[in-house]
């Protein structure tokens, strides 16, 4: 189906698919007080914390530190942390076009210098279902899959030809046989593993966007949103007062993680 038709149909039914949560149910479970400037989570509820010294620490679901990565001087501060696969954590350093791969104990497995493959402009990466890596090459406007040597295994056509417009994704997710790319100004576009466009979703301006378990999560101002990719239904919750304002969020199926003033708040929600 043409992506413009998909979006048109979506917009027609959008008013009937919003489901506001009037009985907001957030329960504070734990607070991590530390020198935290960035973080991410994995599907085992481990938390990966970066402090002001660029040290990466892995904390388990009980709040216990289980691993530390301290080799941070070579590349400085990581632009992106991805722990979608807890056995292969990715650190991306945009200024050096370099990906550092860590094992579950945060030991270095491999380092990929994208410049050796003539790839110089990348903002978004993520692990693929088959233990490779998706990247979006901004110079060629292509989604590419690379192996651990940085060799390009697969690539799409130029996205300007696919979408008839420029596209600059800041997030990539590999979820349930589809690849999701998010440009806050253009929306979410969904591709299969062969690079064919399957859908376009008019989600724009969301911050902290994450795709997990057939849902797309994100936030805007004081509201948390969840979009169901199967039912096309939106849920929304007003944030608890301590979480109002600018901050970084992450989500699992039942947990909300919020970083504010160097403190990480962990809430359950429904």
Q: Answer yes or no: is pLDDT of 10 > 70.
A: no
Q: 1 is written with which tokens?
A: 């189906």
Q: Answer yes or no: is pLDDT of 270 > 80.
A: no
Highest mean pLDDT among 23-27, 36-40, 74-78: 36-40
Q: Answer yes or no: is pLDDT of 247 > 70.
A: yes
Give pTM, 2 decimals. Answer: 0.88
pLDDT, one tens digit per residue, over 91-145 is 999 999 999 999 999 999 999 999 999 999 999 999 999 999 999 999 999 999 9
pLDDT at 211: 95
pLDDT at 102: 97
Rounded to whole angstroms, the Cα distance separating 267 from 115 reads: 40
Q: What is the largest CA-CA distance in the chain?
A: 53
Strands 248-251 and 26-33: unpaired
Residue where the block lists tokens 């979820």: 175
With the CA atoms of 166, 168, 171 and 177 taken in that order, what torsion angle do they form, in degrees rounded to the nearest 10? 30
Residue that wins the pLDDT comparison between 23 and 121:
121
pLDDT class of 24 with cuts at 50, 70, 90? low
pLDDT at 138: 96
pLDDT class of 177 with cuts at 50, 70, 90? very high
pLDDT, one tens digit per residue, over 206-227 is 999 999 888 999 998 888 899 9
**Distances from the Cα of 61 to the Cα of 9, 45, 253, 255, angstroms:** 41, 5, 14, 11
Give the chain as a 3 state SS string: CCHHHHHHHHHHHHHHCEEECCCCCEEEEEEEECCCCEEEECCCCCEEEECCCCCEEEECCCCCEEEEECCCCCCCCCCEEECCCCCCEEEEEHHHCEEEEECCCCCEEEEEEHHHHCCCCEEEEEECCCCCEEEEECCCCEEEEECCCCCEEEECCCHHHHHCCCCCCCEEEEECCEEEEEECCCEEEEEECCCCEEEEECCCCCEEEEEECCEEEEEECCEEEEEECCCCCEEEEECCHHHCCCCEEEECCCEEEEEECCEEEEEEEC
Q: Where is average pLDDT lowest: 9-18, 80-89, 143-152?
A: 9-18
pLDDT class of 13 with cuts at 50, 70, 90? very low
Q: Answer yes or no: is pLDDT of 154 > 90.
A: yes
Cβ burial 65-87 (10 Å sphere, 16+ → b, else e): eebebeebeebeebbbbbbbbbe
Q: Where is average pLDDT lowest: 73-82, 166-175, 236-245?
A: 236-245
Mean pLDDT across the chain, nearest whole number?
88
pLDDT class of 232 with cuts at 50, 70, 90? very high
Q: Answer yes or no: is pLDDT of 43 > 50.
A: yes
Q: Answer yes or no: is pLDDT of 77 > 90.
A: no
Cβ burial 152-175 (10 Å sphere, 16+ → b, else e): eeeebeebeebbeeebebebbbbb
Spell out the domains of the chain, with CATH numbers in brackets: 1-33+231-270 (no CATH), 38-230 (2.120.10.30)
CA dihedral sign, ordered 142, 204, 17, 270: positive
pLDDT at 14: 43
- Tell me how many degrees the CA angle 19-188-196 measures, rounded to the nearest 5: 125
pLDDT class of 9 with cuts at 50, 70, 90? very low
Cβ neighbours around 7 below 10 Å, total: 15
């Amino acid at each position: 189906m043409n992506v413009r038709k998909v979006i048109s149909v979506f917009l027609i039914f959008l008013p009937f698919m919003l489901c506001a949560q009037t009985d907001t149910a957030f329960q504070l479970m734990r607070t991590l007080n530390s020198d935290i400037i960035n973080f991410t989570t994995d599907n085992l509820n481990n938390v990966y914390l970066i402090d002001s010294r660029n040290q990466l620490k892995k904390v388990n679901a009980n709040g216990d530190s289980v691993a530390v990565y301290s080799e941070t001087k070579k590349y400085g501060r990581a632009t992106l942390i991805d722990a979608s696969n807890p056995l292969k954590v990715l650190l991306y350093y945009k200024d050096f076009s370099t990906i550092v791969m860590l094992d579950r104990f945060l030991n270095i497995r491999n380092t990929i210098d994208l410049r050796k493959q003539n790839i110089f402009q990348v903002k978004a990466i993520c692990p693929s279902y088959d233990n490779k890596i998706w990247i979006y090459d901004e110079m060629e406007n292509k989604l590419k899959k690379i192996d651990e040597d940085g060799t390009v295994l697969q690539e799409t056509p130029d996205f300007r030809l696919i979408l008839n417009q420029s596209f600059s994704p800041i997030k990539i997710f590999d979820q349930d046989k589809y690849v999701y790319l998010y440009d806050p100004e253009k929306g979410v576009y969904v591709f299969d593993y062969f690079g064919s466009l399957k859908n376009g979703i008019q989600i724009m301006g969301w911050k902290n966007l994450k795709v997990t378990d057939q849902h797309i999560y994100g936030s805007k101002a004081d509201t948390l949103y969840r979009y169901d990719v199967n039912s096309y239904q939106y849920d929304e919750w007003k944030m608890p007062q301590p979480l109002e304002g600018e901050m970084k969020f992450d989500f699992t199926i039942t947990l909300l993680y919020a970083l504010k003033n160097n403190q990480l708040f962990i809430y359950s929600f429904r």
